[in-house]
Amino acid sequence: MLKVRTRFAPSPTGFMHIGGIRTALFAYLIAKKHKGIFVLRIEDTDQKRYVAGSLDIIYETLKDLGLNWDEGPDIGGPYGPYIQSERKKNYQFYAKQLIDEHKAYYCFCQDERLKLLKEKAARAKRPYKYDGHCLKLSNDEVENKIAAGEEYVIRFKMPRQGTTTFKDRVYGDIRVNNEELEDLILIKSDGMPTYNFANIIDDHEMAITHIVRGNEYISSTPKYVLIYQALNWPVPEFIHLPIIKKEKDSDKKLSKRDSDATIADLKEKGYLNQALINMLVLTGWSSGSEREIFSLEELTNLFDIKGIGKGNAIFDIDKLNWLNNHYLRLLSVDELYQFVYPFLDEAYDLSDKDEAWLKELILIYQKQLSYGREIILLTSLFFKDEFKIDDEAALILKDKAVINLLFLFREEIEGIREWTIDNIVNVIESVKSKVKLTGKALFMPIRIKVTGECHGPELPKTIYLLGKEVVLNRLAK
């Protein structure tokens, strides 16, 4: 049985998009499920889009998420090099083979002519397709043009009749009429291969058995299949993934311009790797059960191509928050402290706060924390002297019984000699017995007065962490 080999082939064009990382994850899981090989290949044939530092971003992002590759540019392997720009001679060789076998041809059409063809197609309200003009050139004409230094591309000669069919593991049998297919450019005028041609050559030479990519490539796949057949190569299995949409009832695809569209955006906001992996696998895949919490290790055994859906997938930020909250709750005090401290340090002056105090503060919000940066908003009442009280809360504070309650509470707080949670609880109980108020009627006015909020974490601990001086000052205002 052929060993399963998958690949992730990103372009070094900047930060890693969520869709790209999901493709990497699915390719990784398919390989690991079948005890196969996961390959990292860099597709840099489009040098105009190259962004300095992108290669390091690709490496760091994948490693950080635990998607370690078995072969790649940095660690090598039996099918290297694993960077497309270093494989240029391979593409030229196969393009020349196709020309010699009359399956491809030189095209000298300039941009002006191609532009006119596109305008003509637009006026006729039909899809643009190159008209095969240079197919009519004789061998002598071709040689003369090349000798004269005319620019050219190499195009694949698509069949003009019949149909091409391929089987996709997600979408089933796909069939197209060959007359609809344009003669695909294989080699560009600068001598570099097109993305499509380089993919085919590299996937074959690297013995890739399963190609995992977004479903926007389904329309290109019949062209790939015809080139495989023209080269007498076995056609790999195709697994096209549903696109990731921004919103449930929208046709808008999630793009790099959207907030939270890249892994860097999400990491910067404070999402854990476990939550990101868990969310990504649920974006277009189902285990067939109601279970939604999975570790990467569990997924390497559970993942099944049959669970990939055909419909568009939604990257649900609310579900990501729920998943991240689940994993944040599992952190120890020290782990949680290490995770959220940088966010607090960025937002507030912590010079007068010791580690013990900060850990106590962070702990009271652990159960409700959805992402790391949220700790800034949740804890703001502990670092800001001024806060606004909304109209509803202000109305509560104007009640005569509440005014009396707050007066008694301040008196008793002022009398505390040793500032402990137990003594604060005793004060609350004492005031409760004197004003004959309980529950919400007792706690909410105190909370509003000292925090500016109607709801929040455990009141005695909140008061303790605020400190006696701060509490007295707020009660006095």
Write the burial class of residue 159 (CB in 10 Å: 0-12 exposed, 13-18 middle, 19+ buried): middle
Helix ranges (DSSP H) in 188-316: 195-205, 221-230, 263-269, 273-282, 296-302
Instruction: Match 């609310």 to its residue by tokens.
Output: 318
Write the burial class of residue 365 (CB in 10 Å: 0-12 exposed, 13-18 middle, 19+ buried): middle
Rg (CA), the chain: 32
**275: nearest Cα among 233, 305, 317:** 317
CB 314 within 8 A of CB 249: no
Catalytic entry in 33, 103, 256, 353:
256
d(CA 449, CA 471): 9
| Angle in degrees, CA 3, 7, 9, rounded to 5 | 165
256 is annotated as an active-site residue: yes
Identity of residue 329: R
For residues 4-25, one letter each, b for 16 or more C-beta atoms within 10 angstroms of the residue's C-beta and e for the rest, the string is: bbbbbbbbbbbbbbbbbbbbbb
Cis omega (within 30 of 0) for bond into 127:
no
**What sign does the dihedral 65-71-75-81 (CA atoms) show?**
negative
Instruction: Match 């062209």 to its residue by tokens.
Output: 223
Token pair for 340: 């959220």
**70: nearest Cα among 206, 169, 239:** 206
Cis omega (within 30 of 0) for bond into 236:
no
CA neighbours within 13 Å on the CB side: how many for 385?
4
d(CA 402, CA 445): 7
Q: Phi and psi for 17 in degrees, rounded to 5?
A: -75, 150
The residues carrying an active-site annotation are: 256
